Amino acid sequence: LKKNLLTSQALELISLVNSWIPAYLISGLGSGLVSALNYAKQLSDSPTEILTWRVCAVNKIELSEDAAQKDKQALNVHFLRTNRLLLFMLTPLAVFSCFYALDIIRLFFERGNFTLQAARNAAAFLQPLLIMMLLFIPITMQNNLFSAERKLKEAFPYLLVSNLIFTGAVIWGVKQWGAFAYPYVQVVCCFIGFGINKFLFNKHFPHIQYGRAMLDMARLAALNVLALLPAAACTCVCGFKTPFFTLLSGGIVFLAALYGLTKYSGDWQIFINAARQSRLPSPFK
């Protein structure tokens, strides 16, 4: 327990340092860029705080119970189910908001001294940060599994390498390509981390279908991108000048197309059944 606690604190310290480095680097690159980043983070972090962390907190208890009972089958089922539920709920938000990032920023913040250029800067940060919002789901789920199985000490070398790769990459990336490189470096490092974690899962969690969890994310992302195509076409044809009507018309078309696709593919029914079987609070249960 003591070793796991020290490992956890060490990882938290590294993550804290990695959260400071980008802001420090960006603050010296131009006026307004840190503010643009903060505006974008306000929007991208909200779904993570409201949904991902709360649902994963419940799931962490469930996984811990399964691990204590040494029920590997239940552990795999509950890991995959919660991972898929969160992806099903947040992938539409991430895909839609990536395409309409500028309109969303303008709707929420463009008033007073917040200029169109400031909106464009914030939107440039928001798009990759929304991808990160989605990637936080498997990241948090995998961290839950490390804790539930009490494998933090074993996971430490893998997680340490991932964090150090990010530290070096973000310093190099921001110096090479500027402030807007930061969130893209973060996305690339996440995928590198997933590759590193594959070796960890093969060694310590062979009973968890790690590849299935990643394929679920890719599959749902593909469905949402397909559903976005008619919404994007509608936006180009209608050409509303105000962000509100652009988002309203695009959102209606996107959700209608997504509902039809998920009904046809069977993903909608899978989501409903999984939500009813899970421990998620109302209205999901």
- pLDDT tens-digit profile of 164-196? 899 899 999 999 999 999 999 999 999 999 999
> What pLDDT score was predicted for residue 125?
95
Q: In 3D, which of 225, 223, 163 has the Cα closest to residue 189? A: 163
pTM of the model: 0.89
Q: How many CA atoms lie within 13 A of 225 on its CB side?
A: 7
Rounded Cα distance between 220 and 229, Å, is 15
> What pLDDT score was predicted for residue 2?
57
> What pLDDT score was predicted for residue 159?
82
**Residues in the chain, pLDDT under 70:** 1-5, 7-8, 279-285
Return the sign of the alpha-carbon dihedral for residues 137, 232, 41, 164.
Answer: positive
